[in-house]
Amino acid sequence: MSSKTAYVQPVADSLSVFKEGIFNGKVLFCTGGGSGICKAMTEAVMRHGANSVIVGRNLERLTAAAQELSKATGKICLPAQADVRKPDQLKSAVAKTIEQFGRIDFVICGAAGNFLTPISGLSENGFRTVIEIDALGTYHTIKATIPYVRESKGSYIHVHVSAAKAAVDATSAVLAVEEGPHGVRSNVIAPGPIGGTEGMDRLGPKGTSVSSMFLGMPVGRLGDVKDIANTTVFLFSDAASFITGQVLVVDGGNEHLRTTQ
Ligand code: HXC
């Protein structure tokens, strides 16, 4: 299969590499699950048997995404409106999850805020907003879900995000050490350039065609949401039961370009 074919392939077609039903009876709680990478991660986990709750600020978008995910996977996906900057809203989303499903096995702290600006154009409030969404939002999500994840001995995955990257990575590493004895694993997925996502629209090079971007990538293509979805299924599965506290870079070798050229 050519890499270009893989790029345009829908997420659903690529998931048969993992055994079916490995997440039967499990429940995923995913912030940022209404669109983009996190929606694809949610779909992948649901295709392997889990029900899910997707969390975000825009209820209309979440509701449409939840219906789409339920229909595509045959499992239940429920929308829960919450801003990750508001702990009380997150607690309500968690309460809804427990009320509906009685458990939380997997958590993806995927909600991110990001925009391109030089520091000269970055106000204190702009900086604070990104830290509040990415770093504090991850913290609030962990605080709200950890009692339930401990009970079910599940896993966390945090999506790698811009200015708060170091804080998210450090939070995950400490969580892995502290919660390891309680059966909880915590890992970070650090996606490279993923085509067709809001992140690429916001942060990718402007005025460059997608085909010319392929040429600069070691694997000859941009990432696809299915690449992150497959990584998610792997990390949540028992195949990754000895992997915790790690940052897994899923970028087609992009990070090594600078050191090898
Ligand atoms: C400079 C900006 C700005 C910009 C906002 N601000 N956009 N400053 N350049 N482009 C400033 C505002 O002026 C304001 O500061 C402050 O940020 C807060 O802005 P608000 O619009 O009031 O905040 P809010 O409505 O809460 O929106 C949050 C946001 C927004 C982060 C600013 O962009 C957002 O909601 N993003 C969510 C979706 C998202 O970012 N997805 C991409 C994630 S992808 P002042 O001083 O004026 O009050 C990702 C990984 C991608 O992270 C990897 C790709 C390779």
Q: Is the CB of 127 under 6 A from ligand 1?
A: no
- Please state, in angstroms and rounded to a whole number, the distance separating the CA atoms of residues 167 and 174: 11
Say which residue the tokens 């990538």 belong to.
Answer: 217
Is there a contact between 80 and 27 (Cβ–Cβ < 8 Å)? no
Closest by CA position to 80, among listed 52, 39, 49? 52
Confidence grade of residue 261 (pLDDT, cut at 50, 70, 90): low
Ligand 1, atom 19: nearest CA belongs to which residue? Answer: 126
Q: Is the CB of 121 under 6 A from ligand 1?
A: yes
Task: Read off the pTM.
Answer: 0.84
Is there a contact between 93 and 82 (Cβ–Cβ < 8 Å)? yes
Q: How many Cβ atoms are within 10 Å of 59's Cβ, its own excluded?
A: 13
Q: Is the CB of 11 under 6 A from ligand 1?
A: no
Amino acid at 209: S
Given a cut of 80, whether residue 43 has pLDDT beyond it is yes
Ligand 1, atom 30: nearest CA belongs to which residue? Answer: 113
Q: Is the CB of 35 under 6 A from ligand 1?
A: no
Burial-class residue 22 by CB neighbours within 10 Å (0-12, 13-18, 19+).
middle
Computed over every residue of the chain, the mean pLDDT equals: 86
- Please state, in angstroms and rounded to a whole number, the distance separating the CA atoms of residues 53 and 34: 10
